[in-house]
Structure 1
Amino acid sequence: MPAWETYFREHHTQYLDELMDFLRIPSVSSLPEHADDIRKAAEWVAARMKTAGIRGVSILPTGGHPVVVGEWKHAGDKPTILIYGHFDTQPADPPDAWDQPPFEPVIKDECIFARGASDDKGNMLIPILAVEALLNTEGALPVNLVFMFEGQEEIGSPQIPQFIEQHKEILACDLVISADGLQWREDQPALFLGFKGICALQIDLKGPDSDLHSGIFGGAVQNPLHALVHLLDTMRSTSGCITVDGFYRNVQPVSDEDRRQIAAVPYDETYYKAQIGIDDVFGETNYTTYERAWARPTLEVNGIWG
């Protein structure tokens, strides 16, 4: 067994306790009342990076939620890898759907349940601990490293483009590896080479200037929610093709090589459906499930209210 793996096993309880402490910080970036918690999470990350042996650790302002940076550059002319992650979380909505308070982690069936456990606190902590294990057993790392952990990913990283522009020298690297991801299976890692971009918008429809009683006005006045549902329905065909004018204009076709590589990934449709509790898959014809999910654009409705 490699020395670093022995080190991990010897420090398993400590690392687990530290992750639980990290998860107790309610670092919800979209809610202003948690701004101090975002700062607290940044301070926790910075302190843990220093303990691991990472150099030049700083909490830098962005005009919004902060970024924590650090480095280890003692591998000479070896490549420089930037490790990215984020320490903010989504709100824990709906709160009554949780079996326990979302920021009080619990372990069930060898899994940790808490807001942010896998997106992204558990994931981003792993490379920090890996550095610590290697430095304490090997005395050095095989490559140079730069770290960038942000506190605003869950709100779209609004200040990060400008932050990167302002800190090009600190963040200069040959390759970026994101610690914000999943494993393929419990015993199988996954290397993601790219993700879909995102463009979010909100559609507001206005109707009467006050609430109307459906028993009095129903059938005589257009219901804004009905109108919105109809509008949204026109954006997608029954086969899953997006019907918005120009939506596919600059979309690159799925190449034969892409299809060959995607097809090489094992796919069990029964398992796929069972994992997410559906009766059948859905989407554009002439594409496989993985091709639709990995190589084709989509238009999704994430909420409707009124």
Structure 2
Amino acid sequence: MTDAAFTADALLAGNRTTLASYSARHFGWRLEDGVGTIVLNRPERKNPLTFESYAELRDLFRQLAYATDVKAVVIHGAGENFCSGGDVHEIIGPLIGLPMPQLLMFTRMTGDLVKAMRHCPQPIVAAVDGVCAGAGAIVAMASDMRLGTSRSKLAFLFTRVGLAGCDMGACSILPRIIGQGRASELLFTGRAASGDEGYAWGFYNRLCAPDSLLADANELARSIAAGPTFAHGVTKTMLHQEWSMSVDEAIESEAQAQAICMATRDFERAYQAFAAKTRPTFQGD
């Protein structure tokens, strides 16, 4: 190894991390076969978020940008619900008495969770059952793929508590998923969309039986984790960045991105496997 290569490895080593032994304080976390699973685990309250869980989720997704052992992520709620949003007593009540600078600190922190989800390279699969409301609906929205059930209830509740629907990127991301008119209806009315509506509108990739939802989400995540993870990260980045590009800019950016992927060992492995009539084993480099 050359001195230059050794120096580069040494510099990068400080950013690399593994999350197999990560111990979450405010939600469940486990890692198996390259799939990290986040469990919002307050089922007695339909898994609401708190100041602490918001911040820890944000920090975990930021760490995922440097994790070498996580290839895909599944997020779901414990019990029969996904997430009921911000905890009324632990978040909504205290916010009433805060001055504007601290309110802005809070709203920026919650928005940072969405930014961290969109910028981590791992594809995120949300397994949505039961109540998926408020900030919970945002977490599902910010995921890359969503599996639901017929009993899923999707609601962006902000107007029902006297707030605007433009929370945590909802007015930017939701119309791109379900269309401007449907997003407007949900964000203005705060009403709950059924699982069948969410699927018909494109919010859910598919509907699953409640008892197979998590297994189906894990199967999808494992299939992604077995793929070319570096290239998956590039795909996710381009899906996000191209929202603000012209078609010409997007084509040029994709040309550069694809050329980078062609320089990876996974691309070579895929060719060698094709030539040998075998299935490639991707390693993410």
Whether these two folds match at TM > 0.5 is: no
Compare CA radii of gyration and give the structure with the larger one: 1
Using the size of structure 2 for normalisation, the TM-score is 0.27
Using the size of structure 1 for normalisation, the TM-score is 0.26
More helix by percentage:
2
